[in-house]
């Protein structure tokens, strides 16, 4: 084969890959846009067209319709208020917990630092279903903490009762999401120029004043950006609010689920979809703008500052106290799942005290006839989701780069920057509701499409940030030495971004494998997967068995992460 034929063959392969990527991108975008539009359009359907719950009179008069609309609006406004206030407080709590962690991880060297840093994967890799279960086991009336306190102080009643309340929702959200703040803030903090802080110190400022006047303003972008992301997660939080939400009101997401699945009021569901999507879209635009500012903060070749050992007694005490706090309130609940999976209960709803340890619950779980199909289905859905969303993310990122190359002087239009994040503005329940209207009988294929639509913004974030880390000179050198732009992308840029691409696939896998919301909302008949099995086991108070199921789910995701991580290191060895 001569040189030209070889170059042509390579180009042919590259175009095939582009076609695959473009198909995945189209699938992901359509799987999001069409059902989202359908769920929103349900709000405009004629009231008589809705399927009224049993007992309701069908065929309302005009007066009734106006009255209904007003009542609907009031209900939505009350839920909106509840949703926004819990999300605001949750974000504030996540910042309060995450900021000290950001400091210690970025600037201090201590035993446990890597473990704390590893926690940053939790909000993405550990599904809310598992966190909910962990909190119930740890903080519940009969949970580990209450059992311990009652035993230690001889109390008759459990002293900790906040869980099933507004405070419970906020605390669960705050602890679940603080690693988002930790990760974003520490990345900026470790690269802050030392000189500015030293100059302020030489000008007579004490440590607190240096922090307040020099460090904090520099960190504000990272804090705000992570807080906005946490706000968005909490705004759309479903399982946690559904489980812990008390009588005092509930969130839009739970209202939407009830309207779509219990009362079958599709008009109400559509209206709620609008009420939650419009503000969320504004938040996504804000997040995208903050993200640009943030990437300017972390860009550049400035290496991370060397980390020091904690100095002074006060700092050591603060660090020890903080680590104990995180261990007790964040790691504790998650670890209690593992412990609980080996507890053999004697009653339906029992505490750990007085029970023996054993493999009984594991045997029970493994012998369930629906356990093996659940494992198979989880993997069978998560693998194509990882493939489609990662391909879509890579295709979109390369299209963005082509746009930047073609119009180097123009800022990329807002639509181009917000488009990959747009699925973040539509909740999984709203998306599932839209899918349900389009395809009343759900199946695994629709689940794959719907989850790909939800997962690809996360995949895109990973791919985009790895591509953005490639220095301009390397991109230029590749353009000069490659036979085409496409060739430069496939032989230099993508291999250099391989870590990001691999972690995009791992995250997408984990998002799919842990997602209980979409399988719940799509009517999938007898379909069974691990999150659904987990949901049913926890719902019927079979906590130990649910914990064993959680451990299986965590093991599957852990194995994928481990395999992909070592694969990512080996990748990039080839041209």
Partner 1 sequence: MSEYLTVEGLAKRWPMQSVEISFSLAEGGTLALLGPSGCGKSSVLRMIAGLLSPDAGRITLAGEDITRLPPARRRVGMVFQDHALFDHLTVEDNVGYGLVSQGMRRGEARERAAEWLERFGLGGFSKRRPLTLSGGERQRVALARTLAVSPRLVLFDEPLSALDAELRRRMQDELRAHQRSLGYTAIYVTHDVAEAEILADSVLRMA
Residues that bind partner 1 (CB under 8 A): 2-7, 408, 471, 473-474, 476-485, 487-488, 491-492, 495-496, 498, 572-573, 575
Q: How far is the CB of 463 from partner 1 (least distance, A)?
A: 16
| Shortest Cβ 18–partner 1 spacing (Å) | 17
Q: How far is the CB of 498 from partner 1 (least distance, A)?
A: 7
Q: Which is nearer to partner 1, 139 or 490 (CB)?
A: 490
Neighbouring C-alpha atoms within 13 Å toward the C-beta of 430: 33
Q: How far is the CB of 489 from partner 1 (least distance, A)?
A: 12
Of the two residues 366 and 481, which places its CB atom closer to partner 1 in the complex?
A: 481
Task: Say which residues have a Cβ less than 8 Å from residue 562's Cβ, sequence separation at least 6.
Answer: none
Distance (Å, rounded) from C-alpha 322 to C-alpha 299?
30
Nearer to partner 1, 68 or 571 (CB): 571
For residue 345, the minimal CB distance to partner 1 (Å) is 53
Token digits of residue 335? 């670890």
Q: Which is nearer to partner 1, 296 or 474 (CB)?
A: 474
Between CA 225 and CA 204 the distance in angstroms is: 31
Cα–Cα distances in angstroms (integers) from residue 415 to residues 104, 381, 410, 553, in the given order: 38, 30, 14, 37
Based on CB atoms, which residue is closest to partner 1, 375 or 494? Answer: 494
Rounded to the nearest 10 degrees, the angle between the axes of helix 444-468 and helix 428-438 is 140
Q: Minimal distance in Å, beta carbon 480 to partner 1? A: 5
* DSSP secondary structure of 232-299: HHHHT--HHHHHH--SS---HHHHHHIIIIIS--HHHHHHHHHHHHHHHHHHHHHHHHHHHHHHHHH-
Minimum distance from CB of 304 to partner 1 (Å)?
17
198 vs 476, beta carbon nearer partner 1: 476
Q: Which tokens is 238 given? A: 């479903």
Q: Is 138 exposed, middle or buried (0-12, 13-18, 19+ CB in 10 A)?
A: buried
| DSSP structure string for 14-70 | HHHHHHHHHHHHHHHHHHHHHHHHHHHHGGGS-GGGS-PPTTPPSS--HHHHHHHHH
> Smallest gap, in angstroms, from Cβ of residue 572 to partner 1?
4
Instruction: Give SS3 for 527.
Output: coil
Residues 6+ apart with CB under 8 A from 192: 215, 218, 219, 305
Instruction: Return the number of the residue (342 or 490) whose C-beta is nearest partner 1.
Output: 490
Q: Which is nearer to partner 1, 141 or 469 (CB)?
A: 469
Residues 142 and 349: their CA atoms lie apart, in Å, by 8
CB of 487 to partner 1, least distance (A): 6
Q: What are phi and psi of 255, to 5 degrees?
A: -60, -40
How far is it, in rounded angstroms, from Cα 508 to Cα 512? 6
Interatomic CA distance for residues 229 and 226, integer angstroms? 5
Smallest distance from the beta carbon of 408 to partner 1, in angstroms?
7
Report the 10 Å Cβ neighbour count for 85: 13
Residue number with CB closer to partner 1 (1 or 203): 1
CA separation for the pair 347, 541 (Å, rounded): 10
Pick the closer one to partner 1 by CB: 498 or 523. 498
When the beta carbons of 249 and 495 are compared against partner 1, the nearer one is 495
Q: Please, which residues bridge with residue 344 across strands?
A: 356
How near is the Cβ of 22 to partner 1 at its closest, in Å?
A: 22
Which residue, 67 or 567, is less far from partner 1 as judged by CB? Answer: 567
- Burial (CB count within 10 angstroms: exposed 0-12, middle 13-18, buried 19+), residue 41: middle
Those residues whose C-beta lies under 8 Å from the C-beta of residue 66, and which sit 6 or more positions away, are none
| Burial bucket for residue 130 (CB in 10 Å: 0-12, 13-18, 19+) | buried
The distance of closest approach from Cβ of residue 502 to partner 1 in the complex, given in angstroms and rounded to an integer, is 13
How far apart are alpha carbons 99 and 102 in whole angstroms? 5
Residue 497: both structure tokens together: 């971004």
Q: How far is the CB of 294 from partner 1 (least distance, A)?
A: 24
Measured from the CB atom, the residue of 492 and 510 that comes closer to partner 1 is 492
Q: C-beta of 298: minimal distance to partner 1 in Å?
A: 18
The three-state secondary structure class of 344 is: strand
Q: 172 or 397: whose CB is closer to partner 1?
A: 397
CB of 212 to partner 1, least distance (A): 34
Nearer to partner 1, 485 or 536 (CB): 485
């Amino acid at each position: 084969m001569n040189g030209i034929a070889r170059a042509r063959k390579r180009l042919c392969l590259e175009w095939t890959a582009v076609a695959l990527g473009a198909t995945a991108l189209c699938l992901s975008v359509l799987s999001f846009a069409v059902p989202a539009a359908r769920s929103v359009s349900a709000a405009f359907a004629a009231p008589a067209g809705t399927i009224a719950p049993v007992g309701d009179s069908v065929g309302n008069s005009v007066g009734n319709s106006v009255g209904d609309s007003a009542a609907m609006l009031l209900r939505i406004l009350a839920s909106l208020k509840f949703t926004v206030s819990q999300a605001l407080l949750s974000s504030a709590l996540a910042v309060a917990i995450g900021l000290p962690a950001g400091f210690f991880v970025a600037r201090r060297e201590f035993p446990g630092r890597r473990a704390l840093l590893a926690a940053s994967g939790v909000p993405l890799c550990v599904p809310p279903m598992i966190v909910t279960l962990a909190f119930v086991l740890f903080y519940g009336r009969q949970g580990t903490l209450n059992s311990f306190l009652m035993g230690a102080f001889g109390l008759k009643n459990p002293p900790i009762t906040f869980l099933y309340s507004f405070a419970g929702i906020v605390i669960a959200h705050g602890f679940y999401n603080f690693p988002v703040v930790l990760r974003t803030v520490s990345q900026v903090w470790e690269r802050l120029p030392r000189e500015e802080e030293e100059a302020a110190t030489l000008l007579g400022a004490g440590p607190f004043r240096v922090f307040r006047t020099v460090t904090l303003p520099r960190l504000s972008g990272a804090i705000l950006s992570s807080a906005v992301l946490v706000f968005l997660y909490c705004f759309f939080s479903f399982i946690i609010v559904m489980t812990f939400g008390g009588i005092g009101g509930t969130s839009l997401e739970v209202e939407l689920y009830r309207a779509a699945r219990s009362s079958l009021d599709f008009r109400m569901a559509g209206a709620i979809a609008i009420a939650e999507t419009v503000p969320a879209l504004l938040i996504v635009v804000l997040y995208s703008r903050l993200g640009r500012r943030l990437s300017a903060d972390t860009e550049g070749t400035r290496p991370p500052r060397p980390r020091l050992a904690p100095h002074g007694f006060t700092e050591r005490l603060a660090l020890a106290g903080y680590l104990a706090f995180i261990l007790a309130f964040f790691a504790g609940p998650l670890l209690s799942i593992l412990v609980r999976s080996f507890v053999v209960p004697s009653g339906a709803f029992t505490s750990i005290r007085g029970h023996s340890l054993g493999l009984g619950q594991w045997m029970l779980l493994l012998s369930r006839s629906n356990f093996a199909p659940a494992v198979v289905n989880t993997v069978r859905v998560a693998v194509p989701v990882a493939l489609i969303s990662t391909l879509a993310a890579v295709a979109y990122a390369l299209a963005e780069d082509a746009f930047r190359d073609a119009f180097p002087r123009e800022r990329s239009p807002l639509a181009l920057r917000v488009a990959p994040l747009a699925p973040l503005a539509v909740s999984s329940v709203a998306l599932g509701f839209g899918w349900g209207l389009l395809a009343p009988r759900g199946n695994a294929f629709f689940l794959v499409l719907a989850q790909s639509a939800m997962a690809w913004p996360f995949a895109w974030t990973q791919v985009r940030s790895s591509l953005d880390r490639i220095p301009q000179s390397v991109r230029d050198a590749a353009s000069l030495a490659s036979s085409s732009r496409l060739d430069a992308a496939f032989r230099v840029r993508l291999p250099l971004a391989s870590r990001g691409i691999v972690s995009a696939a791992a995250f997408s896998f984990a998002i799919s494998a842990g997602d209980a919301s979409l399988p719940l909302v799509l009517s999938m008949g007898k379909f069974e997967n691990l999150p659904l099995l987990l949901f049913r086991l926890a719902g019927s108070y079979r906590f130990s068995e649910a914990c064993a199921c959680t451990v299986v789910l965590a093991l599957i995701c852990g194995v994928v992460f481990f395999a992909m991580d070592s694969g990512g290191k080996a990748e990039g060895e080839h041209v």
